[in-house]
Amino acid sequence: MNADTRAQRRRAGVRLWLPGLWLGLLCLAALAAPWIAPHDPLAQDLMLERLPPAWVGGAEPGYWLGTDSLGRDVLSRIVWGARIALVVAFVAASAACLVGSALGIVAGYFGGWPDRLVSRLVEIWMAFPPVLFAILLVAVLGAGLHSVILAIAIIDWTRFARVIRAEAMVQARMDYVHSARIGGAGRVGTLLTEVLPNVLPSIVALLALEMGVAVIVEAILSFVNLSISTDDPTWGSMIAEGRASIHFAWWVLVFPLVALFLTVLSFSQFGEGLKDRFDPVLR
């Protein structure tokens, strides 16, 4: 193994484990939110409105990241908001992955009319601006967690279909596929035993990237009050509220924005790390 390959493997390891550490901690915090959140995220106390973080003068003990305009604890709302962000990320991205990957691998492997049908469907779907399409769907379906998840899955399956279709087309032309067919394997059997395992690394890497996209879309919908109930803590709604008080209560905006940024960046880098980790050249 030459020096360039070793350096590339080290970079892949950093891309994989550092984002994985943040995402792991975030998942633990979301699961343990009822026990680790210092306060009720919905509890309001106007006597405690816009308290600064603990290290700033005038802070109140126990409110580590300060409070918002209604006296609600910012740290508790970020922790509980992580639950919603991760549920949307995992469920919506997985649904989009299942639908898009299935259509993409069938279109890329079989070609012919399945390929033409899926390709035309993807082209029609991608003619709509994704964020505006999501807002329209949620407005039609009604606000709620299920509507947000369904809207993201309906929109983002095309991302998987395009990428996996191209990957399946490449794999279908490989010698090992022709050898399996010559050996007597059927087309469906070859697809499941030969093509799918070699396409799976791309699916996993793309799934991680899509989770970050799902978190962003949910935050955008929350920002415009089209996600779940406005009483429930979401990062997007916290950012929307903090924008109005940025000049005299910067922490209301900055902390949920940092949590959103680190989560999306971690999903993105984790996906890139998985892609590098499963690279046949590096292996």
What is the per-residue pLDDT across 45-97, written as a single tens digit (0 to 9) for each?
888 888 899 888 777 888 999 999 889 999 999 999 999 999 999 999 999 99
Tell me, yes or no, whether 283 lies in a domain: no
Average pLDDT over residues 159-178: 85
Q: What is the domain range of residue 271?
A: 3-277
Tell me, yes or no, whether 163 lies in a domain: yes
Buried b (16+ CB within 10 A) or exposed e, 218-232: bbbbbbeebbbeeeb
Domain harbouring 201, CATH code: 1.10.3720.10
State how far the Cα of 65 lies from the Cα of 131, in Å rounded to an integer. 31
pLDDT band, very low/low/confident/very high, at 264 (cuts 50, 70, 90): very high
Buried b (16+ CB within 10 A) or exposed e, 164-199: bbebbbebbeeeebeebeeeebeeeebbeebbbebb
Tell me, yes or no, whether 282 lies in a domain: no
Number of domains in the chain: 1
pLDDT for 281 equals: 47
Residue type for position 256: P
Residue type for position 42: L
Dihedral angle at the C-alpha atoms of 48, 54, 58, 63, nearest 10 degrees?
Answer: 10
Average pLDDT, the chain: 85
| Site of tokens 């609600």 | 72
Tell me, yes or no, whether 230 lies in a domain: yes
Tell me, yes or no, whether 233 lies in a domain: yes
Taking Cα atoms as reference points, which of 87, 82, 63, 47 lies closest to residue 252? 63
Look at residue 239 and give its three-state secondary structure: helix
| Site of tokens 């991680």 | 208
Tell me, yes or no, whether 218 lies in a domain: yes
pLDDT band, very low/low/confident/very high, at 279 (cuts 50, 70, 90): low
CA R_g for the chain: 22
Tell me, yes or no, whether 204 lies in a domain: yes
